[in-house]
Amino acid sequence: MRAAPTILHLDMDAFYASAEQASKPSLRGKAVVVGGLGPRGVVATASYEARVFGVHSAMPMAQARRLAPNAAYLTPRFTFYRAISDQVMGLLRDLSPLVEPLSLDEAFVDLEAGGAAWDEESARLVGVRLRADIRAVTALTGSVGLAASKMLAKIASEQAKPDGLVLIEPGTERALLGPMSVRILPGVGPATGDHLRRAGITTVEEIVEAGEDEVVRLLGKAHGHGLYAMALARDDRAVVAERDTKSVSVEDTYDVDIHDRVRVRMEVQRLADRCVRRLRGAGLSGRTIVLKVRRYDFSTLTRSETLRGPTDDPAVVREAAGRLLEAVDTTGGVRLLGVGVSGLADYTQEDLFAQAAGEVDLVEDEAGGAVEGPAVEERSGGERQWRAGHDVRHAEYGHGWVQGSGLGRVTVRFETPEDVEPGRVRTFRTDDPGLEPAEPLPLVRGGVPG
């Protein structure tokens, strides 16, 4: 373990809910719940005001509605959150080449690797400045943990929440961890926690007191040794730069050049399926689909397409690879074909979303919609269905967002991120000719780091 607290862990505060509050002045200071609004939807993020009622992420939406009936319930606007995330990750990459994102709103940064910090004082300064820059650029708050290891940096940011900074001084780690629950250690879930509790071990200190042999006897070799080391605050895991550089790919070289276009197309579909099997086997999804073609004269082309969100859906990868192939001339014959997926992620929050969104689509009587869906959708019978939470523009009243929709009416609140006071609400017929979907407005106009 290093001697200086130069590993930084950033975690944005109630990210999706905070982004919605920043975007919609009337929701600031109010309970906001973002997630799937269908009968089997789950909460993705709850604002701190909603957490007071006991609402938390991964909770069934129906339960959240019982706990906080007056909260604002919104479908996620994933493209919007990703744009903000890109801004935040950009600020982190300015600090170091070693940035390890854990989700859209959470990442480790090795400050020493970037030369940004080398001791306690410089590390604290970087953390303070980073929080100010995030606020200036995104209008949102993030909490920062600083420590000499990843485990402690993450614990520190948890303690810093919301909107704070905690630095754990090297040498104080064991005293800090001692009284904490065993559940604070990485890899200790409910099952392992129960197992340890039945052996009379509930705190980190008690793991140390039990001794390594006893912990190994209880949990087995692989898990026991690692856990005992963590209890002693020994954590040498390195910050690993994001997986974007890596990819999962498969390719085939053919004994005889393929000339038949239909056969080339079939081979690409087959490779796409194989690639997805490998991707899923590794528990990953990716955003960028890559097609590689080596032609009869050994000239090699790669073509890629980046999707709006990560996928591990064979149909999506097949389609994208097929589209890429359309743009490649294969008339002289093909020696090799390859299909790959890069921009890999295992964003768990996103998976939660994908499920929630899938459920929402099944609901007919609710203005909820798919994650990447447009603000308005033409339903059978020609009725326009407006999605709650999405941005719209009215010819006469300007920019606003859909507060609710049903029975041929849509309610819009006209306000923008720059407004201080909540905007006014108006109701229209769903087919009002003056109303059209709009892009989200930036939270900060021309925001630059200070």
Q: Which residues are catalytic?
A: 106
Residue 11 is assigned to a ligand binding site: yes
Of 50 and 219, CB closest to Mg ion: 50
Tokens of 281: 């086997």
What separation in angstroms does the CA of 292 have from each of 38, 223, 302, 323? 41, 41, 4, 13
- Residues in contact with Mg ion, shown as a per-residue x/- string from 382 to 421 under the rule CB under 5 A: ----------------------------------------
Which range binds Mg ion by CB under 5 A, 8-16, 90-98, 292-300, 332-340?
8-16
Task: Lay out the sheet containing 32-35: strands in order across.
Answer: 43-46, 32-35, 72-74
In whole angstroms, give the CA distance from residue 188 to residue 224.
11
Of 16 and 386, CB closest to Mg ion: 16
Of 105 and 366, CB closest to Mg ion: 105
At its nearest, how many Å lie between Mg ion and the CB of residue 81?
A: 11
Which range binds Mg ion by CB under 5 A, 12-20, 36-44, 57-65, 301-309?
12-20
Of 17 and 388, CB closest to Mg ion: 17
Of 16 and 428, CB closest to Mg ion: 16
Which range binds Mg ion by CB under 5 A, 9-17, 226-234, 264-272, 377-385?
9-17
CB-based contact 58:42 (threshold 8 Å):
yes
At its nearest, how many Å lie between Mg ion and the CB of residue 94?
A: 20
- Enumerate the β-bridge partners of residue 339: 250, 291
In whole angstroms, give the CA distance from residue 431 to residue 409.
8
Nearest to 205 by CA among 238, 181, 184: 181
At its nearest, how many Å lie between Mg ion and the CB of residue 268?
A: 39
Nearest to 101 by CA among 450, 356, 343, 372: 343
Q: 């940035």: which residue's tokens?
A: 99
What separation in angstroms does the CA of 230 have from each of 107, 149, 398? 20, 10, 56
Q: How many residues bind Mg ion (CB under 5 A)?
A: 4
Residue 105 is assigned to a ligand binding site: yes
- Residues in contact with Mg ion, shown as a per-residue x/- string from 245 to 274 under the rule CB under 5 A: ------------------------------
What separation in angstroms does the CA of 373 have from each of 47, 141, 144, 308, 387? 23, 27, 33, 11, 9
At its nearest, how many Å lie between Mg ion and the CB of residue 369?
A: 24
- Classify residue 184 by its DSSP letter: G
Per CB under 5 A, the list member of 105, 173, 391, 415 interacting with Mg ion is: 105
At its nearest, how many Å lie between Mg ion and the CB of residue 143?
A: 8
Judged by CB under 5 A, does residue 350 bind Mg ion?
no
Which range binds Mg ion by CB under 5 A, 97-105, 114-122, 324-332, 433-441?
97-105
CB-based contact 429:408 (threshold 8 Å):
yes
For residues 294, 295, 301, 302, the Cα torsion angle rounded to the nearest 10 degrees is -50
At its nearest, how many Å lie between Mg ion and the CB of residue 106?
A: 6
In whole angstroms, give the CA distance from residue 86 to residue 83.
5
DSSP-derived 3-state class of residue 74: strand
Judged by CB under 5 A, does residue 11 bind Mg ion?
yes
Task: List residues forming the annotated binding site.
Answer: 11, 105
| Residues near Mg ion (CB under 5 A) | 11-12, 15, 105
Task: List residues forming the annotated binding site for Mg(2+).
Answer: 11, 105
